Amino acid sequence: MSRNADPKFWDAAKKHLIRYGGTFEPAIIERAKGSFVYDADDRPILDFTSGQMSALLGHGHPKIVETVQSQVEKVAHLFSGMLSRPVVTLAERLAELAPGLDRVLLLSTGAESNEAAIRMAKLVTGKHEIVAFSKSWHGMTGVAASATYSAGRKGYGPAAVGSFAIPAPNAFRPRFKHADGSLDWQTELDDAFNLVDSQSTGNLAAFIAEPILSSGGMLPLPKGYLAALKQKCVERGMLLILDEAQTGVGRTGDMFAFERDGVTPDIMTLSKTIGAGLPLAAVMTTAEIEDAAHEKGFLFYTTHVSDPLPAAVGVTVLDVVRDEKLVDRARTSGQKLFDGLSRLKDRYDCVGDVRGRGLMLGVEIVKRGADGQFREPDHDLGAAIATEAFKNGLSMNIVKLPGMGGVFRIAPPLTISDAELDLGLSIIAKSIEGALSDR
């Protein structure tokens, strides 16, 4: 019998754990190394989602292990009013990488960083209305949850007053089209803001956006969109907040995703990738905005603000990304992975679309619709492929949110080898074959 079937373990899990969404994988993970996690049978499972999109350097990177061991012996946690060298060093390094965003607040999670960013935007502008994309995910707490539209909105009472959504651009299923059938995102954006303006009470504070909407189905903002969105914000006296939880620190082939468009946000939030699997997040903004917030009494005390241990890890993450040239690696490996997935799209009708940037890609599973075209989302086949993949030794996260269908989120560590990418592609092909044969 497999050690993964340990009845004592699963009985205890069922008895004592609060279920927080979805189902657990049928395995007990005992350890992880590099691009793999290992179950109770010591079976290697290729991790194509970097844990929760966070293990940017893979699992157990020796530099991260060394930093944790060294820093925890010195100081791991301090009173919020105390500063340590790792905190100031990380703030300085981040500011160097994002010119103009010179002020940094170090926190623990993505939701927390978005809470702080929105709180700051409201205080500085003196307004309260927040706009986000209809497929967004910015966290499960407070105003971050109010700006999250891809899931979790029903059953929890009212959202924050002044929460608005606009459609997320989707080139695979365009709402507004050019004559050739391609997405007319400018008309869509204009139409969306006309609706926002008609609902606003004149208190638009900020727009919060992911450069690639991950939980919404790996939807990348088209080139040029970010600049147009920033202009919409400028015209209304709003701040632009970019949530780069998953796109930051090299994953898209740029250090930050906004660099491709040459548009610097007013506030940027980081999490996931900056901590390489440890809880670390950051809010970055301009000196002007931070000064204004401070003058108005900006308050965001949390237990783990400016903690030295995660800050030291963040510095090491930036060192490794620089020394191992992982931004370039994300670009080249991402192209290799994109090409491999595109070949699967050519081979299987059920692979409807491959999209994304760098090592952050989406694969949408579809079925034939009434018009005879393979455009309809296929929830069941997507789930079956995911199950087959896990059996075959590959972990791929699939978006199962209503209306999105089976969209695989593929974001392996930036340290992944070409051989491991090839292995992943071969398992995906095998898993598609297996799922189709069972139909």
Q: Is 243 a catalytic residue?
A: yes
21 dihedral zone (left: phi>0; alpha: psi -120 to 50; beta): left
Active-site option among 47, 112, 188, 243: 243
Selecting among 135, 236, 355, 409, the annotated active-site residue is: 409
Residues 6+ apart with CB under 8 A from 165: 131, 132, 133, 134, 136, 149
Compute the distance between CA of residue 374 and CA of residue 376 in angstroms, rounded to an integer.
6
| Catalytic status, residue 246 | yes
Distance CA 225, CA 230 (A): 9
Report yes or no: 77 and 308 within 8 Å, Cβ to Cβ: yes
Active-site choice (232, 236, 272, 367) = 272
Tell me the H-state helices in 32-84.
50-53, 62-74
Catalytic residue among 210, 244, 307, 420: 210
290 as an active site residue: the answer is no
Alpha-carbon gap, residue 103 to 92, rounded angstroms: 9
Pairing verdict, β 36-39 and 204-209 = unpaired
The SS3 assignment for 183 reads strand
Active site (annotated) includes residue 52: no
How many Cβ atoms from other residues are within 10 Å of residue 293's Cβ?
20
User: Inter-axis angle of helices 110-125 and 287-295, to 10 degrees?
Assistant: 70
**Among the options 115, 137, 266, 329, which is catalytic?**
137
Whether 137 is a known active-site residue: answer yes
Which among 232, 237, 149 is positioned nearest to 191, based on CA atoms? 232
Active-site hit among 103, 135, 236, 246:
246
Could you confirm whether 93 is annotated as catalytic? no
Task: List active site positions.
Answer: 137, 210, 243, 246, 272, 409
